[in-house]
Structure formats: C-alpha cells, structure tokens
Copies of this chain bind each other. A is one copy, B any other.
Amino acid sequence: MSGAKQNINIAIDIMGSDFAPESEIVGALEFLNENKDKSIKLFFVGEEELIKSEIEKHPSIKNFKFEIVNATQVITMGDDATAGVKSKKNSSISIGLDLLKDSKVNAFISAGNTGAILSTSTLKLGRIKGVSRPTIGSFFPTLKENPTLLLDVGANSEVKPQFLYEFAVMGQVYLSEMYNIKNPSIGLLNIGEEEKKGTETVQEAYKLLKESNLNFIGNVEGRDIFPGAADIVVCDGFVGNIVLKFAESFMGFFKETLKIYANQSPLKKIKVGLMAPTIKDVFRGFDYQDHGGVPLLGVNGVVIIGHGKSSPKAIKNMLYTALITYTKEINKKIEISLQSS
C-alpha cells in the first residue's frame, strides 16, 4: 500500500509504575495531545475496570485511537522474573508482549518489574540475530552536554567478553540513531587504565573492542563516569547494577545529610532552607524522567522499560522512545552492525 501511511500501534502496560494507572493514562494522553499523529493507536493493557475508571477522569482521551486489552493479573516488584511465563501468564506484561509477538502492536512499554519484562521478552520475542544476550542500559548525568549510557545494568550478572563487545555495538547504534551522536565513544569499565588491568573477561573484551571498528577509547574507571569520559560505558550487569543503585542513592543521601545538619540548630535550619531552592534548580537537569525509559536492547521487538517511579512525563517520553526506536528500525540496524563490525 505504497503512499498510504502505515498505522503504528503501541501497547502500554497500564499496571507497571508505582503510580499506575494514573501515570500511564495521563502520560499517554499527554503523548497523544502533543504528538497529534492520527496514525498512532495505543493499546492499554491491564485490568479493564481499572483502566475504564481512570479514563473516565480524562474524557479527552476519547478523541484519540486506543483500545483496552484486559489482563487479569499484575506482576508486582516482588514477583520472580519468571512470573510472566509461569505463574502469571495473564499479566499485563505477558499479554502486552504477546501483542508484540503476534505483530498486533509495533512496540511495548512498561514501568513494571524489570526482571520480568526482560525474561518474558527474551522468551517470547527471541533475540536479534547476532546478539548473545539482551542488555538494559541506564543514562548517567555527566558534566558534559550528553549523559553517559551505562550498560549492562542488571540483565546479565555474568558475562563473556563477546557479550561486552555486543553491548558496545548495541549502545553505539542506539545513541547514534536516537540522539544523533555520531560515532559515540565507548569505554570499558575497569579498575585501571592499562590494557592488562582487571579480570580476564575484561582483558579479553578490551582486545575485541580494540580490534573492532567502534570508537573505543580504552578502559574507564569509576571516577570517569561523572566527567563523561565516554558516551557509552560497558560492564557486566553485576557491577553496572551496583553502580546504578549506588548513584541513584546519592541524591537521597545528600538530602538526608542536609536534613541531619538542619536539625542541629535553628541557624543551620535557616541556612539549609535558604539554599534548598538553588539546590533544586541546580539539579533540575538530572531528572531521570527526561530520558523516557531505556530500551531493552537485543530482543527481537521494541520494548521500552521505565523506572518504577515513572511520572506521566516519563511515560510520555517512553512512548516517544518506543515510536522512534520502531520507526528508525534500530533493531534492524543492530543486526547489520553486528554482522559488519
């Protein structure tokens, strides 16, 4: 049907975030209002009655194309990663991914249980040709213009050198396509700059990356992440997950430390009160919500994962990420890059 614009269907896990279903429905509405692309249809996957009652609060959503897909189960954060394919086959995650597998939708987004999305996606959709292991990344704020994409942050606690190389290729395609970063630089997370540092695995990965046609800048250390030494930093999911969660706890630690200080005396309380708005303003740029989730790279389908604390804005941005990942055919480009690099 050349000439006719193809419809794009995106499924949303309405039960995913900590603020579900409100974040999801409000975020979807914001996306539809802003995007105005009539060829887009959203599939709201979750408990039908809950979705309907949330939609009643936002009647303008009825101006857009959407469909409710009932899912009677919910995978919670406490559920095992295998729940999607074992005990909770009727969960919003499972049913949403079935829609994707059956080509009824072009992408799926969820702010739910990351482990469950990862394993259910991998099993249902399979891997992109040439990918040994799917990976999940996370953006870290830096002192430079762009954040750094760290991957893997938890999908693979043990890796082979080849996996690290593939993470770099996937990250490279993703950053250049999504953010127009040309030939992004790639660093290997290690405990020293020299080629012979670290575990056998990272030493072997170093060789693979050096021999590739990627823009590999060598080892980067823990201290190099914030200064933005590399656009992409690859590591195993064990260290990546620990660094990510440690980083996420910084702001909380900082706030608590200020609170403890403020409670030491009335004068200190005033001092902290005076600087609080500035602190907030300074760190506005570090809003994780802006990134619109992270793609689950390497599975054979467009799956975008959001933080449990996703706001409507985050959901809206996840929908954009899904749309661009699909329209730019990032998965196809990953396949090609893995063949050629």
A contact set with B: CB distance below 8 Å: 143, 154, 157-158, 189, 191, 197-200, 221-227, 235, 237-239, 241-250, 252-254, 256-258, 260-261, 268, 271-272, 274-275, 278-279, 281-283
| Cα distance, A200 to B158, chains bound together (Å) | 9
Assuming the contacts A189-B242, A242-B239, A256-B143, asked whether A249 and B223 have C-beta atoms less than 8 A apart, the reply is yes
A104 to chain B, nearest CB (A): 33
If A221-B245, A257-B283 are given as contacts, then 5 extra A-B residue pairs at C-beta distance below 8 Å, sorted by A number, are A157-B191, A191-B237, A191-B238, A254-B254, A268-B278
Q: Are A227 and B239 in contact (CB under 8 A)?
A: no
Q: So how many copies of this chain end up in the complex? A: 2
Residues of B within 8 A of A199 (CB): 157-158, 238
Q: By the criterion CB–CB under 8 Å, are A249 and B271 in contact?
A: no
* A191-B241, A199-B157, A239-B242 known; A249+B227 contact, CB < 8 A: yes
Find chain B residues with CB under 8 A from A200 CB: 158
Q: How far is the CA of A241 from the CA of B274 in the complex (A)?
A: 37
Q: Determine the distance from Cα of A247 to Cα of B222 in the docked complex, in whole angstroms.
A: 8
A72 to chain B, nearest CB (A): 27
Give Cα distance in the complex from A176 to B244, angstroms. Answer: 31
Q: How far is the CA of A241 from the CA of B239 in the complex (A)?
A: 10
Residue of B nearest to A270 (CB): B278
The answer to whether B246 and A246 have CB atoms under 8 Å apart is: yes
- Which chain B residues lie closer than 8 Å to A252 at the CB level? 226
A274 to B274, alpha carbons, bound, how many Å?
9
Q: Chain B residues near A158 (CB, 8 Å)?
A: 199-200
Tell me, in angstroms, the Cα distance from A154 to B241 when the chains sit together.
18
B222 pairs with A250, CB closer than 8 A: no
Known: A157-B199, A158-B200, A238-B199. A246 touches B274 (CB 8 A): no
Instruction: Give A153's nearest chain B residue, CB to CB.
Output: B191
Closest 4 CB pairs of A and B: A222-B245, A222-B246, A275-B275, A226-B253
Could you say which residues of chain B place their CB within 8 Å of the CB of A250? 226, 250
